[in-house]
Amino acid sequence: MGVPTFAIVGAGLAGARAAEAIRSEGFAGVIVLLAGEAEYPYVRPPLSKDYLAGRAARDTIDVRPARWYDERGIDVRLGARVAGLALDTHLLTLRKGRPVRYDRLLLATGASARRFPGKGADLAGVHHLRTVDESDVLRAELEPGNRRVVIVGAGWIGLEVAAAARGYGNTVTVLGRESVPLAPVIGDEVGSVFAELHRVNGVTLRMDTHVDRLIERQGRVAGVSLPGGEVVPADVVVIGIGAVPNTGLARAAGLAVDDGIVVDAAFRSIDPDVYAAGDVAAVFHPVLRHHLRVEHWDNAERAGAAAGRSMLDQAVSYDAIPYFYTDQFDLGMEYSGYGTLARDAEVVFRGDPAAREFIAFWLVSGRVVAGMNVNVWDVNEMVQRFIRTEVRVDAARLADESIGLDELLAGAPE
């Protein structure tokens, strides 16, 4: 029997952490990490935050230095785009280069920015943001300042780009379908805090609207057309309307796909030698009792490592609580919880939302299902403990800052 080969398709954070876990757990075989981009693994959150804003250098977003992979015998193949997967022969075919035969395979193919569906998506000055190259190009357009920037989409990416664009001295307009930014994720009540944050920092919010098309002038975007014929002038347009999981390879191979590659709590697909993790994976969550696809960096970090251990036949049952963060202007925020459970929950504020210094809790039947700390630090572990232990808590006591969170957690399991 030859030396076993573990192949990983996708060199984002999930793929990188999987390779790291596989090697650190003692696997002595071949590890091949296929990177579709011509870049070693890097983290994506700074691409719309500090890196885009010019506050972070390029090397600060790398998961590991390039030499780290060489030192551990991890074969990173840059620009290696996979054209096909044959489950029966355990073979990956590449667009260029020799096929890769694997014993076990991890699909960490991530997600792609959702493209603007209307006319003008490919005009000069129109940007979608997913890769470091795209962040570099966008930053070059924002840095001069005094430009009219229109952002289509009032979600996390859209608002983070708006903050960065204002930091360079641009005029910024955000267009959103909902009445309040972020409403589908955190609801109107908490979303209003972010709306006010952007208004006081000079961002124009145009909500309850949608874009008909992008206007061209001499091959470059010149404006955004709204219903009724109104045109919002634009020198730069950024499309921030979500992401789409990259499931094409898995679907063509015959794997189960349902808003992501369907895997169990140990990241195993319907093929016993194929696993999936990160943005592309719809993972069975043992607490929620249904499949969940999470597009945040913390999930990629933890799920990638857990999937790597599972590939080594270690016992894994992934039940992490989703977590993400944002930085916009002078606001920093951490969110933990199950957004699907929080949609009809009671929102309890602890602190002062008007001052943008508070914790918001989402309660269902007296139990915390999600929590967000805004400009309040060193509390996220306690927020997660409320969620994990399902301790019952009185809403009035939870809102009362004179009662410590540790007191409210007294008697809850560790």
Instruction: State how far the alpha carbon of 370 is from the alpha carbons of 202, 323, 396, in Å.
Output: 30, 10, 17
For residue 274, pLDDT over 90 is answered with yes
pLDDT tens-digit series, residues 49-70:
999 999 999 999 999 999 999 9
- Main-chain phi, psi angles of 401, to 5 degrees: -70, -15
Contact 178, 159 (CB under 8 A): no
Domain boundaries, the chain: 5-112+245-311, 126-239, 330-408
User: Distance between terminal CA atoms of the chain?
Assistant: 46
pLDDT tens-digit series, residues 327-337:
999 999 999 99
Question: Mean pLDDT throughout 189-206?
Answer: 98
Task: Give me the pLDDT at residue 300, please.
Answer: 98
Task: Give me the pLDDT at residue 11, please.
Answer: 98
For residue 414, pLDDT over 80 is answered with no
**Burial, 80: exposed, middle or buried (Cβ in 10 Å; 0-12, 13-18, 19+)?**
buried
For residue 316, pLDDT over 90 is answered with yes
The rounded mean pLDDT for the chain is 97
Contact 270, 256 (CB under 8 A): yes
- For the entire predicted model, the pTM comes to 0.96
DSSP character for 229? G
For residue 43, pLDDT over 90 is answered with yes
Domain 5-112+245-311 and domain 330-408, same fold? Reply is no
Rounded Cα–Cα distance for residues 323 and 384 (Å): 9
Assign domain 330-408 to a CATH class: alpha beta
Task: Give me the pLDDT at residue 165, please.
Answer: 99
Task: Give me the pLDDT at residue 413, please.
Answer: 74
Please enumerate in sequence order all residues whose Cβ is within 8 A of that of 121, keeping only pairs 6 or more positions apart, or say none: 115, 214, 239
Q: CATH for 126-239?
A: 3.50.50.60
CATH fold for the domain made of 5-112+245-311: FAD/NAD(P)-binding domain (3.50.50)
- Which residue shows structure tokens 């007296």? 366
Task: Give me the pLDDT at residue 1, please.
Answer: 57
Task: Give me the pLDDT at residue 168, please.
Answer: 98
